[in-house]
Structure 1
Amino acid sequence: MTGVNEIRSTFLDYFKKNDHEVVESGPLVPRNDPTLMFANAGMNQFKNVFTGLEKRPYSRATTAQKVVRAGGKHNDLDNVGYTARHHTFFEMLGNFSFGDYFKDQAIEFAWNLITREYGLPEDRLLVTVYSEDTEAADYWKKIAGLSEDRIIRIPTSDNFWTMGDTGPCGPCSEIFYDHGEHIWGGPPGSADEDGDRFIEIWNLVFMQYEQTPEARLDLPRPSIDTGMGLERLATVLQGVHNNYDIDLFRALISASEHETGVDASGAALSSHRVIADHLRSTSFLIADGVLPSNEGRGYVLRRIMRRGMRHAHLLGAAEPLMHRLVPTLVREMGRAYPELIRAEALITETLKLEETRFRKTLERGLGLLDSATGDLSSGSRLDGETAFKLYDTFGFPLDLTQDALRARDISVDTDGFNAAMERQKAEARAAWSGSGSAATEAVWFALKDTHGATDFLGYETETAEGVVAALAADDKEIEKLSAGESGYVILNQTPFYAESGGQVGDTGEMLGAGVRVSVTNTQKKADGLFVHAVTVEEGELVPGTALELKVDHARRGAVRSNHSATHLVHEALREVLGTHVAQKGSLVSPDRLRFDFSHPKPMSDEELATVETFANEIVLQNAPVDTRLMAVDDAIEAGAMALFGEKYGDEVRVVSMGTALHGGKEGKPYSLELCGGTHVKRTGDIGLVTLVSESAVAAGVRRIEALTGAEARTYLDAQDKRIREIAGILKTSADEVPTRVSQLMEDRRRLEKELAEARKKLAMGGGSGEGTPVKDAGRFKLMARAVEGINPKDLKGMADEAKTQLGSGVVVLISVADDGKAAIVTAVTKDLTGEVSAVDLVRIGSEALGGRGGGGRPDMAQAGGPDGSKADAAVSAIEAHLAGL
């Protein structure tokens, strides 16, 4: 059997031998096409090459492209898991010619690959061509030796590809595989073409025209774009008829079976298939930088994740499931896609966090759904208001609700759902438009229109003279501010830096004739209007008042130090962790700096120490900090880092500091960034950089906090004092503190383990000399016990021991937690599994405990319930069931 990885490598190697450049898959979020939500074809990353906007150093290419179809025009989500070939994620194999070879060689490449390299029998292959493309039909006869009856001419647009209303276009030729007469279906173009007998495996697109608004013209350099679904090809080469039966999916479904204890058969089969498919799409999306959210691509990801999580719930998974399958996916696909290996920790963490959150509302949402549809019969429709409540209150995407009702043949009023959604948005807009925030913004735009943007002088000076242009308070312009009153001052010019780019706004004072004003904050509004939050201490402010403006020098100095240190830490992180590190947020205040950045896992102590060392190396250089204005394109070309999503004007400030000592950049500026903030004159002014914490902000986003200068020295002095105090308590030296603490922790772990074993033994009656009592329940022996202080995870192991002790019979163990919730495990000895199912028993017990569902194997099952006080009732219900068998 030919495995998926071998099929993929055979394809790429074949075209590499035929002078094609092997190009890595483009990301799932296309960089060069904002019209696409996700990459949906192999040619996406070459779009600008085909249109002539971009030149590449090669004219032939081959790829295995990652594709997601779960949003927008291409949306297969509803069918995934229920059909043989629908997926949210798949791989598209392709070869491309950019004005190099054309139809004859493309057909020859395709035919030789599938018949010689893959060994497909020629008599099972047939092709389609566009009805007007006699040239392609002639090549198929000449190169492949196909007879006329195996070349099907299609007159419709199915065999003519276009990029859009205008642009490159051309006829297609598709290769089909015939599974044989024993499979229902007709050839392409026939009334029965939707059957499974004839399966399209490869589509060759001959780009030979340019469509203009007026006419279709011949391209001077025709090109080739082909696409072959890897999963479809694998079904043919592996002799199966369902994509989910190929080796890759069998491995993922087997892992799902193992983790849930539920076989992939009957009703459970579709759920396992959904989980396997959705695991792939969610993992690759996260690896390419998409994180779950409530809008855009992030919401599509969340929809896929939650649909998979609901199917895990259907299988009775008592704990988050999908993250436990990630290692299997990485093992199967990581070699071909190393980004999976790099992002494994991020994928695992994101899936676990999302599933943990969603499980809290899933059961309540399903309860509402059951209640709302209890009286609905097959063919009925759920009202849109209820579907929207499930979305708004319980986080159920619409397609999850539709999927949950699918088996009962109940549809959803989507028009009613959309109407409820629009009504909520309208209410939110109305509430916002009347809020203080919106009203305040209107004030600033009006003042900006009247007085223009504020002239900022603060890069060169911390003192200046200015004139009051306007005053505001309570969301409106006012005529004066008197002593004791607070409000906002607009000046004609200012040295006060307005909060921007993570740097806090300046504070200070304004002085005039008989006037003293405290400045408590400075913010930028309406694209260039500096707004000073003030309190008048003495006198009165009116428009036209002349003032002496003084920034708080000590505070500004501390902010400068922290901002410059932020740049050094950013570059050090990229040097230590990799260039995937990108700024996701920052706060530069007088007392500390905070820097959020993209990274999939916690940093090690060694990595943190190295970042700190690298930053302080530049501080010790005492190098000048240079700032200059450049055209934004020139700055980026020079290597300056720009923040993703930040808007820059035609001219930008570029801040450089230090000289690189390692990392292959020796002699070049250590840090070079676009930045509008204030900075020290020399790196030595920073004094010292000390990292004080590293933590998670969100999935895939880490946060570092650091101190500089005097704050750093104070922090380190306090740390040294604490270490000496701890050493005194432990009666050891400061150097020996880590060793002594490790010894104490090891002693604690050993004692906790011994205590847990003692509790388990006592729970089963071992401490009293009496074992768990055994009673007769009809024809069966029943060993049942409610235990306290036992971790639910230990129940299965205890049940296995009890089965061995019992010999033949049924074991029921119920653990009640401090919050009153219960976990129940049922176990049946092997000799009785033909008569008694542990799954049936655990569901009876769970229902008595106020729960629903549960799952496992015939010999061992687990469930839970909210009411641990009903433990005895659960045992009695199971006993009664056994007695009746």
Structure 2
Amino acid sequence: MKKLGMNEVRREYLDFFGKKKNHTVLKSFPLIPEDDESLLLINAGMAPLKKYFTGEKKMKNNRATSSQRCIRTGDIDRVGMTERHGTFFEMLGNFSFGDYFKREAIHWAYEFLTVNLEIDKNLLWVSVFEDDDEAYDIWHDEIGLDSERILKFGKEDNFWELEVGPCGPDSEIFVDRGIDKAIDENDNKPGNDDSDRFMEVWNLVFTQFNKNANKEYIPLSHPNIDTGMGLERIAMVLQGKDNIFEVDVNQSIIKEIENLSNKKYKEDEKDDISIRVIADHAKAITFMVSDGILPSNEKRGYVLRRLIRRAYRHGKLLGIKNEFLKSVIEKIIDTYKIEYNELIENKDRILSIVSKEEENFQKTIDSGLDILNSYIKNLKDHNESVLNGADAFKLYDTYGFPLDLTREILEENNLSVDINEFNKLMEKQKELARSARKSDSGWSLESINIDSFDKTDFVGYDKLSVEANIIGLFDQNKDLNFIKEGKKGIVISDKTSFYAEGGGQVADSGFIVTEDTKARVYDVQKKKDVIVHYIEVIEGNLSKTSAKFIVDKDRRLDITRNHSATHLLDQALRNVLKEDVNQAGSLVDADKLRFDFTYSKALTKEEIRKIEDEVNKKIREQLPVKKQIMPYEESEKIGAIGLFEDKYKDMVRVVSIGDYSKELCGGCHVNNSSEVLIFKIIQESSAAAGIRRIEAYTGKKVYELTNSNIDKIEKIANKLKTNPKNILDRIDSLENEVKSLKEKVQKLKRLNDEDVFNDIANRVENINGINLLVHKFDNIDMETLRNFEDRMKNNYKDLIIVFATVNNGKIIFTASISDSLVDRYNAGQIVRIISKITGGNGGGKRNFAQAGGKDISKLDEALNAVYQLI
């Protein structure tokens, strides 16, 4: 077999299917799924192509191939512990969307393996679904594979399916890596998951059925092909390596980790685990950040944060003192730039975001370790071995200290954590989050067979009212003949003027009206090509009949103003900032527009004003707004900006605002830029690391904001007892007056503090050669208290100070001990004991500690106890 590097295998595969087999070569889709709420991250080669398999989207060519970057999070805890598991990998795949089927898929797979990769055909084994005689016959009669090397397995092994939807049998291809890899003498054919001898390298899925809710398998009129071959895995086979961490590209990454840690891979198993974790996680981190994922505490952002923190923790275990991921990521970028040139373009942003998160976690680790160590000490002091889940969850939720790190450190101390209690608290938090994320409609479309409806004719670009036929009525569970007055439901029609939520633009609202019925439309969604109206009947009973669909005109106009202004803003940002600014999200509703974009620093007031001025200039220029349907290639020629997936559409909709802005967009827009009226940025902020956010108003909202500000200025002027034009002069006068009064107050406070200090200095007692000062105060701040302690320590040697102050009904104790006495006395123990007398608690270091108290009536008793302790 050929000894190819991983980059060479990728190129060989894409050239084979792209050039020789006429497939469209797809660049790897980003790791963030597009319009797919079922996935957190792209985890398989076919995942970004679901809508092409279902027919919702069409590609120029009905066959495609790709090397898709993927992240799988289910085994994060096992990464490093074994030599097989990884979070990041690439999946080679060739796909047919109703074009070729089993014969071509099998023949081409065999050709690529035996001819292009020169794998000995006698090393190949395959498995097929036990009822798939067609696949068996192709392998046996046409390919010529011996029958003993064609294994028949049941559904569990060789049938790909979900609860409902497209499914079908599959055929897996294995390579025999040699008898020396066998577990025992019985390890002589594929089927043992623990064996390293027979390596599954390719899975050919024949999607030929649609499984419905009744578990019936309906043959598809145009069956599909979906194949997947792990790039790292096939490279491992070709290079004769034992695991994915030893293939060529990983070796350079591991070498970098060795240099940083002064540890050698394969010399110590514990170190090997950490090296594997860093090598794997750093690759996942690099591509996730490059694709626009940012560290956060939810969804994919949390996956990224967890990977960064886990990698950093294992760096510390290897003895790496400072931040180090930057060096590893630079090596990864250099290794993968051959295929992924965007890593070079995004390099500065990747390094900036990861370094900042690494720096923040360094602080988290230090503070979290202090708290966890106190928990560990408490467990050991009380002869307990299990940390309660609430404490672990507090570490995670409040301090960002990951559970896996808590578990690792506990295990190092022969302790464990109550995982069940932690999971209950985590599930409770997730449930709160799920509730918060529910849509306004609160309804699911899962019970509706959308495939039974034809594409909805959307006429809403040009008409805000249209006569249409209602062809479907539903509640949450079933098909209805009518929806009663006062009830909510779902309406499907043959045509509509209502825009369904999409592309950052919110859905229209309005009414569906017949002669004797009126229903309020409060949400509109789109599934496949069918537009779904969420309604509440407010008059009569709504049935399947002809009705007028009337969009709220004023609201739509406000939305279109904001949407067109978003396009103007996008171009103005590029012009003013003079950098590679890319859209990172948007929201357009009737009240305002929100636009997220990649940029590394906050905008200055001058930049914001320039952007605002440029947008308003284009509004005043009365630029015509054109909406055109054209081939994608033509949109590229005129420089239209589009999303990644638009690259594979035959026809696209281009919205042009004069010659100033050209973007691919399916949303609703004004006909002339002057209709936006006016544009005002109301806030510029950070949306996440490396992402800035602008929120802005247009039209009547700017007018309302102006009136509101005028009202506020008049009220402020009244309170300042001046007129609006003299407000600033009046404020300057008041500031000078306040400054003068503060200086007087500070002077009086210094005189008072000096009197208090002289008084307490006279209260120092000498007990057996130790100077002791015990005193209580009323309503004194901690800064003054600490100042007294420092001054007293300068005046007295061998000094113990115990102060108590009562503020707002609460007691604060402090204890401070000279360094000469810390071997005999412990400030933490002193405040812990005396605070408990007042129903409080606290602690600290040997030379200084602080505690709280509750019962003021026992304060004197607590302070008297100090003498007994000393």
**TM-score, normalising length from structure 1?**
0.54
**Structure 1 residues 122, 626: CA separation in 2 closer, same or farther (over 3 Å shift)?**
closer
2:167 maps to 1:165: no
- Residue of structure 1 aligned with 2:329, choices 326, 329, 334: 326
2:298 maps to 1:283: no
Alpha-carbon distance in 1 for matches of 2:46, 2:664: 38
**Structure 1 residues 619, 406: CA separation in 2 closer, same or farther (over 3 Å shift)?**
same
Match of 1:6 in 2: 8
Contact 2:65 2:93 in 1 (8 A): yes
Alpha-carbon distance in 1 for matches of 2:586, 2:6: 37
2:397 maps to 1:392: yes
**Structure 1 residues 610, 393: CA separation in 2 closer, same or farther (over 3 Å shift)?**
closer
**Structure 1 residues 218, 408: CA separation in 2 closer, same or farther (over 3 Å shift)?**
farther
Please tell me the residue identity of whatever aligns with 2:114. Answer: T
Paired residues for 1:528-539 under 5 Å: none
Contact 1:624 1:657 in 2 (8 A): no
**TM-score, normalising length from structure 2?**
0.55
2:355 maps to 1:356: no
**Structure 1 residues 322, 675: CA separation in 2 closer, same or farther (over 3 Å shift)?**
farther
Paired residues for 1:483-498 under 5 Å: none
Structure 1 residue 372, shift from structure 2 partner: 4.3
Alpha-carbon distance in 2 for matches of 1:337, 1:623: 41
Contact 2:281 2:311 in 1 (8 A): yes
Alpha-carbon distance in 1 for matches of 2:665, 2:229: 45
Contact 1:8 1:230 in 2 (8 A): yes
Match of 2:488 in 1: none
**Structure 1 residues 187, 574: CA separation in 2 closer, same or farther (over 3 Å shift)?**
farther
**Structure 1 residues 150, 673: CA separation in 2 closer, same or farther (over 3 Å shift)?**
closer
2:650 maps to 1:660: no
Structure 1 residue 339, shift from structure 2 partner: 2.9
Alpha-carbon distance in 2 for matches of 1:282, 1:314: 19
Alpha-carbon distance in 1 for matches of 2:626, 2:62: 41
Alpha-carbon distance in 2 for matches of 1:407, 1:154: 44
**Structure 1 residues 401, 569: CA separation in 2 closer, same or farther (over 3 Å shift)?**
same
Alpha-carbon distance in 2 for matches of 1:115, 1:15: 15
Paired residues for 1:199-218 under 5 Å: 199-212=199-212, 213=214, 215-218=216-219
Deviations 1:66-94 (A, max 9, x none): 11111xxxx11011111122111111100
SS at match of 2:179: coil
Match of 1:127 in 2: 126
2:82 maps to 1:91: no
Match of 1:815 in 2: none
**Structure 1 residues 2, 367: CA separation in 2 closer, same or farther (over 3 Å shift)?**
farther
**Structure 1 residues 105, 618: CA separation in 2 closer, same or farther (over 3 Å shift)?**
same
2:680 maps to 1:701: no
Match of 1:347 in 2: 350
Match of 2:58 in 1: 55
Match of 1:141 in 2: 140
Structure 1 residue 421, shift from structure 2 partner: 4.2
Match of 1:195 in 2: 195
Alpha-carbon distance in 2 for matches of 1:193, 1:169: 24
Match of 1:845 in 2: none
Match of 2:238 in 1: 237
**Structure 1 residues 658, 429: CA separation in 2 closer, same or farther (over 3 Å shift)?**
closer
**Structure 1 residues 567, 33: CA separation in 2 closer, same or farther (over 3 Å shift)?**
closer
Alpha-carbon distance in 1 for matches of 2:313, 2:23: 44
Alpha-carbon distance in 2 for matches of 1:90, 1:699: 25
Alpha-carbon distance in 1 for matches of 2:164, 2:432: 41
**Structure 1 residues 136, 428: CA separation in 2 closer, same or farther (over 3 Å shift)?**
closer
2:627 maps to 1:624: no
SS at match of 2:80: coil
Gap runs ≥5 in structure 1:
433-500, 502-526, 529-560, 631-635, 644-655, 709-866, 870-885
Alpha-carbon distance in 1 for matches of 2:150, 2:414: 41
Match of 2:257 in 1: 256
Gap runs ≥5 in structure 2:
437-503, 505-521, 524-560, 629-634, 644-654, 699-844, 848-870
Structure 1 residue 168, shift from structure 2 partner: 1.7
Alpha-carbon distance in 1 for matches of 2:347, 2:193: 41
SS at match of 1:42: coil
Contact 2:640 2:664 in 1 (8 A): no
Structure 1 residue 121, shift from structure 2 partner: 2.1
Alpha-carbon distance in 1 for matches of 2:562, 2:137: 72
Alpha-carbon distance in 1 for matches of 2:34, 2:695: 32
Contact 1:572 1:615 in 2 (8 A): no
Match of 1:402 in 2: 407
Please tell me the residue identity of whatever aligns with 2:597. Answer: S
Structure 1 residue 610, shift from structure 2 partner: 14
SS at match of 1:217: strand
The RMSD of aligned alpha carbons is 5.2
2:184 maps to 1:182: no
Contact 1:154 1:189 in 2 (8 A): no
SS at match of 2:68: strand
Structure 1 residue 566, shift from structure 2 partner: 8.1
Please tell me the residue identity of whatever aligns with 1:199. Answer: M
Match of 2:573 in 1: 573
2:111 maps to 1:109: no
SS at match of 1:231: helix
**Structure 1 residues 188, 220: CA separation in 2 closer, same or farther (over 3 Å shift)?**
farther
Contact 1:596 1:703 in 2 (8 A): yes
SS at match of 2:137: helix
Match of 2:21 in 1: 18
Match of 2:736 in 1: none
Structure 1 residue 112, shift from structure 2 partner: 1.1
Please tell me the residue identity of whatever aligns with 1:128. Answer: S
Deviations 1:277-319 (A, max 9, x none): 1111122122222211111221122112211111122122222
Alpha-carbon distance in 1 for matches of 2:415, 2:27: 44
Alpha-carbon distance in 2 for matches of 1:657, 1:61: 31
Structure 1 residue 27, shift from structure 2 partner: 2.2
Alpha-carbon distance in 1 for matches of 2:302, 2:429: 18
**Structure 1 residues 247, 594: CA separation in 2 closer, same or farther (over 3 Å shift)?**
same
SS at match of 1:182: helix
Structure 1 residue 123, shift from structure 2 partner: 2.3
Alpha-carbon distance in 1 for matches of 2:665, 2:76: 45
SS at match of 2:583: coil
**Structure 1 residues 61, 425: CA separation in 2 closer, same or farther (over 3 Å shift)?**
closer
Alpha-carbon distance in 2 for matches of 1:196, 1:627: 62
Contact 1:50 1:98 in 2 (8 A): yes
Match of 2:764 in 1: none
Contact 2:602 2:686 in 1 (8 A): no
Contact 2:5 2:248 in 1 (8 A): yes
2:38 maps to 1:39: no
Structure 1 residue 701, shift from structure 2 partner: 1.5
Structure 1 residue 702, shift from structure 2 partner: 3.5
Contact 1:602 1:694 in 2 (8 A): no
Deviations 1:780-818 (A, max 9, x none): xxxxxxxxxxxxxxxxxxxxxxxxxxxxxxxxxxxxxxx
Deviates more, 1:181-190 or 1:126-135: 181-190
Contact 1:278 1:305 in 2 (8 A): yes
Match of 1:557 in 2: none
Structure 1 residue 674, shift from structure 2 partner: 6.3
Paired residues for 1:845-856 under 5 Å: none
Structure 1 residue 386, shift from structure 2 partner: 3.1
Structure 1 residue 419, shift from structure 2 partner: 3.1
Match of 1:458 in 2: none
SS at match of 1:109: helix
Deviations 1:461-508 (A, max 9, x none): xxxxxxxxxxxxxxxxxxxxxxxxxxxxxxxxxxxxxxxx9xxxxxxx
Match of 1:383 in 2: 388
Contact 1:209 1:219 in 2 (8 A): yes
